Chains A and B, each alone.
Chain A
Amino acid sequence: MEQDIKAKIDHACRTAEEFTKLYYESLDKRRYLISRLYLDSAVLIWNGNGIEGKDHIQKFWIDLPSTNHTITTLDAQPITGPAVADQLTFLVKVSGQVKYQEKSSKPFNQNFLITAVGDKWKIVSDCFRAQEALDNS
């Protein structure tokens, strides 16, 4: 059991490294393909704006100005227990800087719930938050 957990932690870390590399490359350079990474019923929350479903997510990303992400931290955990049953699922957290078009870069955090569907990893939920001051109005 303990060995099993350790293996899952290793797996989560390696998958997270590979996943984030692919994800941000797609987002910055091949955005038209980004929806392939999402589950059909995935949810994207972008700065508090919720977008549900793979197709809507694809459209949302296409409409966003071009981006350039630089990642500075990465963390990953396996999710176990009755919450996911036997479904292999990882929680991934990223922080870094994002640049929109030529504008100055903003720090951001993003976390993903990714799960194995057959032989592919798919995003179940994707939550992006820029670090910024928000009006209280």
Chain B
Amino acid sequence: MPKKAAKGRSRWTGQTSSRHGSPERKQYFDHDDRAVRGPARPKVSFRTGRNAKGGRSKNLQTALKIHLEDDVDMSDPNAKRIRFKGNVGVGGSAREGCRSPAPSRRIDGGGRGLYHKKGLRDDGGWFKVVIPYGNKYGKDFILKNLLSYIAPDPIIPIMYKIEGNTASFFVDDYKTALKLQSCDKKITTEEGFKISVNVLPGYPVSNMNDNFKERLKAAMAKRFVQATNALDLSQFHREPDLCEDYFCSLARTAMLIFVIDIIVEHTPQLEALNLDGNKIQAIDRLGSLLSRKLPSIKILYIGDNRIRDLRDTDSLKPLKLEELRLAGNPLCNKYKQRNEDYISDVRKRFPKLLKLDGILLPAPIVFDVGDDAEGHKLPPSQRAFAVNEDARQVATTFLHQYFTIFDNDDRQPLLDAYDEHASFSLTIHFPPNNSHRFTFYLPENRNLFRVNDREKRQRLLKQGRLPVVSFISKMPKTHHYLNSFTMDLGVLTKTMMVVTVTGLFRELDGDKAQLRYFNRTMIIVPQGSGYCIRNEQVHITDPLDSQKKELAASLPALLSIPEETKNLEQQQEQLIMALRQQSGMNTEWSRKCLEEVQWNFDAALAAFRQVHEVGQVPAEAFQS
């Protein structure tokens, strides 16, 4: 939060918020004024002071050394183990940067002599402060002394905890990290020992359980101002109600999604969001999340983050931003001395912007070409359209039957679905160099852009019921996903209707089980008491990734149906077996008997006995 904006009316805190007036809170925003006190001297080597108990473990010494030095003897199993342990949850450390969202930190070796290993880099990341034997002194003692040493600057310790005899916590600020590093062995305990303070790049992890969610919600509610519909999540990882136990870094995508989902749940119409000072780098992700989930946002503060290029903010374009704060991001450095360019480049992306970095922008003069954003929107897609409700029902029933048979092993019954003079043609589209995945369809592709020969155009148009159904029977076996279907019914006359169906199906032949997207247009005509297809055009292509994902998401619901059927069949088989044994009837008659009483075993047996007593069970029932 910039100090300027904090004065006077504040959208983020409101007038009455208790947080607002708290001097402690205010301090949090003041980090920019801090001066580095004392030389930021990289620590030379680690020598433990006299241990309180006099005897210090050799292992510990090794372990601590390993924390600080690169040249670990990896053949020492002890050292290896401890070193590894020391890095657990510290994904951002120099050697194990893979879990960190920050780029891996290469230690700058220039001019640091032998001990450069301990140099910290100001790359906007996080730092872990480790205090060996910190368990002995208590949190208050340690923090109070550290604080008095680096005063007047504050320390916001994140996730302070004791592991073994080591106390550790995290800080988010490079200057603080440097100062804490210089506290090493500056604090003397009552017993006369000097407390070691080690600082290294590090990144905490914390679990997102239900308890956390409740505390998170409470902390967020406190930061919400109803009157202005604004939520202040600036420097959220420092939130005093959370930071002792949790690491709430909005720079982590998982946390960001978690937090945004809570906002959507409670205030989906949020208009102002402050994300200043959260070390956010993946702004494209943020942009797509916000524009999808919180489209009402008009005021967005994302200053003092790690956004490197203005282009990264393109993902925010769908938001109709009126106010934006970007100051304090690396991208602004590119515009030093070029303020005009900065404003115009930002405005290109956010033409409705009235305020940038707290400064009112002069109203732009534009040509009156109408408002593209307002007037030219794509209407949302609908799953189905029909000119007439009755026709929709006819078409739905027809297609349901059609695709049920189409998905069977035997497609011959489709002879009834086609007119005697039916026409059928197929086109396919596939990515370059992927023809091998379309080998069946390839010779049948009647794409008129490719097939110029008159004879071939005639030949590829299948004509007549038999040729059409015989071709369809040869097509790969399929399973169509009905819940992916769309249906459009456009023309309806007494003599015909035109239906277009799209959706996904899986090929069951071969080991690849290709998923396909299809678009089929059918001209359906009445015939006798029913309907049949007179013309059909099929187009087959690959599904998009988004379609695959959506299908996967809907699959559990789909799969349960065949699973149930399968179970039912198994149960029926068992009942038939049991009735066979009890009655002596064969399988066929046992089934008939059970079917008549809706698979109630006792009723079936009773019925059998009743009929058997009067000798009415035919002899064939007992033939095997």
Contacts and interface: CB of A to CB of B under 8 A. Distances in A.
A99 interface: no
A27 interface: no
A22 B384 CA distance: 28
Given A46-B379, A49-B382, A113-B491, A91 B502 contact: no
Given A107-B541, A134-B486, A49 B447 contact: no
B486 A129 contact: yes
B496 A74 contact: no
A43 B449 contact: no
30 contacts: A5-B463, A6-B458, A9-B457, A45-B385, A47-B379, A49-B381, A49-B382, A63-B375, A64-B378, A72-B429, A72-B447, A75-B426, A75-B427, A75-B447, A79-B534, A81-B421, A83-B493, A84-B495, A93-B519, A95-B427, A95-B519, A95-B539, A101-B372, A109-B519, A111-B521, A113-B491, A125-B491, A129-B502, A134-B486, A136-B550
Interface residues of B, number: 61
Given A48-B488, A93-B537, A17 B448 contact: yes
Interface in A89-137: 91, 93, 95, 100-101, 107, 109, 111, 113, 124-127, 129-136
A48 B503 CA distance: 13
Interface string A1-28: 0000110011001001100000000000
Contacts of B419: 81
Given A43-B490, A48-B486, A127-B488, A75 B541 contact: no
Interface of B: 372, 375-387, 419, 421, 423, 425-429, 445-449, 454, 457-458, 461, 463, 483-484, 486, 488, 490-491, 493, 495-496, 498, 500, 502, 517, 519, 521, 523, 525, 534-535, 537, 539, 541, 543-544, 546-547, 549-550, 554
A107 B457 CA distance: 25
Given A65-B376, A91-B537, A83 B488 contact: no
Contacts, number: 172
A68 interface: no
A129 B535 CA distance: 19
Nearest to B426: A75
Contacts of A126: 490
B372 A13 contact: no
A129 B539 CA distance: 12
Contacts of A76: 448
Contacts of A100: 378
